[in-house]
Chain A
Amino acid sequence: MHQTWTARAAALLQGRLEEMLAACVLAVMVTIAFVNVITRYLIQLPLAFTEEITVNLFVWLVLLGTAAAFRDDAHLKVVFFVDRLPGPWRRWVIAFTHGVSLVVFLVILRLGWIQVADEIWLGMVTQSLGVPSWYFTLGMPVGALLVVVRILQALWRTLRPGPAAAAPAERSAVQEWTG
């Protein structure tokens, strides 16, 4: 049993775990927002507390999506200069960029975890729902942890010997939908 469980977890980490979660989060958020419009107009019942849910779920969504974007190498970046470097150089520079990303998200992971611990210790509750606020804040360390895993995977792909690793990411700039 234990083995199948780890195998399954490994398969999820190879696959699209965070996208599945985040897609569900987005579906919930947009449905809540839509239902809120309807209840406000049809039964004159604005559901104010829903804003707290959607806004906080948004943070979960962004970190899960950030992890997915690291896996797909979809983050917005200036590829112009580095992609003109010779292969081995490019590989080391890209490995370096993963290192920088790793540090940034480890900092967010650590600080997010401290904030969760503080909120548990202080017994903080949210303003309109009155639930423990760390339920929401937990998204920060958990999401950052997933991001860290994806960065480590990307780093491994870059450093692994073989010609494929040195190829510039063709898709990287393409998936940017940035406004």
Chain B
Amino acid sequence: MAGAAWLLLGSFFLLLLLRVPIAVALGASSFLTIWMYDLGFPVISYNFWAGIAKFPLLAIPFFILAGVIMEKAGMAERIVRFIRVLVGHWPGGLGLVAVVVGIFWGAVSGSGPATVAALGTVLIPGMARLGYDRKFATAVISATSELSIVIPPSIALIIYATLANQSVRTMFMAGVVPGLVVGAILAALTVFLSVQRGYGGEPRASQSEVLAALRDAVWALLAPVIILGGIYGGIFTPTESAAVAVFYALFVGLFVYRTLEPRHLFRYLADAVVATSVIMIVVTLAGIFSWTAASIGVVDRISQAILLLADAPWLLILVLNAFLLILGMLLDAISVYYIFLPIFLPVMAALDWHPVWFGVMMTVNLALGQITPPVAVNLYMGAYIAGIKLEELWSEVWRFAAATVVGLLLISYIPSMTLWLPGLLGMR
């Protein structure tokens, strides 16, 4: 059924490039193929329902809502202030602050653009005031925010876990070390560039200022401890932990910081609903797409073709990464998982590759896709917040993209980097 495969993939990519929403392009190409090849329409409505109604996926709206509330409660701001008094006086200090806070906020938020939004509004004007180039500041924040989908909690890792039959908890543990490694590379690059361009540090904060900032930030600093501690400690499932995070954020925002107004809660809920639905409609229609692809047998044949390279696994890893990188420029991470994981899973099984390692590698690769145009959600958000053009941003961002590639290669060729931490805790 080669014709069916061309119809499915061809119509999908054509619609995609014509500005049709990704979810609709996935749906339309699947429906067309199901109709032309008589694969059975009733399955669509069942699959549509089943694609959404999964308990682990409930963590997505809850984590998004928690992120929105934490941001509005002023938690991001307070973490920035605290890290600033700690390392702001170093040369290139504020650049380092941006990366460190980006890593930290990654442990609260599971979405790249959400992190850009939360941190960019605070950090970009702050860095510009201290003489940092606006483009550079935006590039640093957009690039660091890619780590939000590698460092747990992560929407991308939740989706990977459900598709690859892995536990979300294990995936959340596996993302930690690779996230920190890429973070360290980005931090080193940021400090190097800042020093080279003569961006100085701020005056050193006094000890009492440090203490005051710590006291103010402690509730925000506790958030990832509760979210991740609860999951790793086996106290909550990831979904429950996300629900707990929502109420923790509400408690802090309403009663401790008193920065939230109850009458705005409705707005936060609505924001989280739209952000969730934009992801979930892709999830469910991509599920139908991948069902269609499997039914016409295209999946098996591509898997077999990939396995022709099985004799040279190192080359295969390189080719797969290059392929994912190009796809990540055009597609969001979630569609890529749905379309290509059914192809990769048999390959992993045949080559005895660890699905946890593969998932983290794939996620880092797709995280890079968030900062590589033309579809670069973090850059769109960063450019929007900073009020600059997307095209101008690339002249700064490419260095960070290149640095991420270095991290990606390390993760690709040293699987133990990823598997060490979950292995230590008996999660493999």
Q: Give A contacts to B, CB under 8 Å.
A: 16, 19-20, 22-27, 29-30, 33-34, 36-37, 51, 54-56, 58-59, 61-66, 68-69, 72, 74-83, 93-94, 96-97, 100-101, 103-104, 107-108, 111-112, 114-115, 137, 140, 173-179
Contact = CB atoms under 8 A, between A and B. Distances in A.
Given A37-B243, A175-B275, A178-B278, 13 more contacts: A25-B273, A26-B61, A33-B242, A66-B281, A76-B22, A76-B282, A77-B21, A78-B374, A80-B373, A81-B19, A178-B111, A179-B155, A179-B333
A75 B45 CA distance: 21
B48 A175 contact: no
Interface stretch (B51-59, B133-141, B315-323, B413-421): B51-59
B243 A33 contact: yes
Contacts of B25: 100
Given A76-B22, A107-B31, A59 B273 contact: no
B61 A82 contact: no
Contacts of B45: 108, 111-112, 114-115, 140
Interface of B: 15-25, 27-28, 31, 41-42, 44-46, 48-49, 52-55, 57-58, 60-62, 64-65, 110-114, 149, 154-156, 159, 236, 239-240, 242-244, 246-247, 266, 269-270, 272-282, 284-285, 330, 332-334, 373-375, 377, 380-381, 384
B28 A103 contact: yes
A94 B20 CA distance: 8
B19 A82 contact: yes
B243 A30 contact: yes
Given A78-B375, A82-B18, A100 B28 contact: yes
Given A177-B64, A177-B279, A179-B155, A59 B49 contact: yes
Given A58-B57, A62-B281, A97 B149 contact: no
A23 B265 CA distance: 9
Nearest to B66: A30
Given A26-B272, A54-B58, A140-B49, A97 B113 contact: no
A59 B53 contact: yes
Which of A74, A81, A83, A177 has the most chain B CB within a 10 Å cutoff?
A177
B374 A104 contact: no
Contacts of B239: 33
B381 A100 contact: no
Contacts of B373: 80
B61 A111 contact: no
Contacts of A103: 28, 31
A94 B156 CA distance: 29
Contacts of A72: 274
Contact of B48 (A20, A108, A114): A108
A30 B380 CA distance: 30
Contact of B384 (A69, A82, A115, A174): A174
A74 B279 CA distance: 11
Contacts of A64: 273, 277
24 contacts: A22-B269, A30-B247, A33-B240, A37-B243, A54-B55, A55-B54, A75-B24, A75-B278, A76-B377, A93-B19, A94-B19, A103-B28, A107-B31, A108-B45, A112-B45, A114-B42, A173-B377, A177-B111, A178-B279, A178-B282, A178-B332, A179-B60, A179-B154, A179-B279
Contacts of A22: 269-270, 273, 277
B277 A29 contact: no
Which of A81, A96, A140, A178 has the most chain B CB within a 10 Å cutoff?
A178
Contacts of A56: 53
Contact of A74 (B111, B243, B278, B282): B278
A177 B275 contact: yes
A56 B52 CA distance: 8
B284 A173 contact: no
A105 B332 CA distance: 21
Which of A16, A29, A51, A111 has the most chain B CB within a 10 Å cutoff?
A111
A10 B325 CA distance: 46
A34 B243 contact: yes
Contacts of A108: 27, 44-45, 48
A76 B23 contact: yes
B400 to A, nearest CB: 19
Contacts of A54: 55, 58
A140 B273 CA distance: 17
B57 A101 contact: no
Contact of A61 (B49, B61, B111): B61
Nearest to A77: B21
Question: Considering the complex of A and B, which 4 residue pairs feature the smallest CB-CB distances, nearest first?
Answer: A65-B277, A179-B155, A80-B374, A23-B269
A13 to B, nearest CB: 16
Contacts of A37: 236, 240, 243-244
Which of A25, A63, A65, A103 has the most chain B CB within a 10 Å cutoff?
A65
A54 B374 CA distance: 37
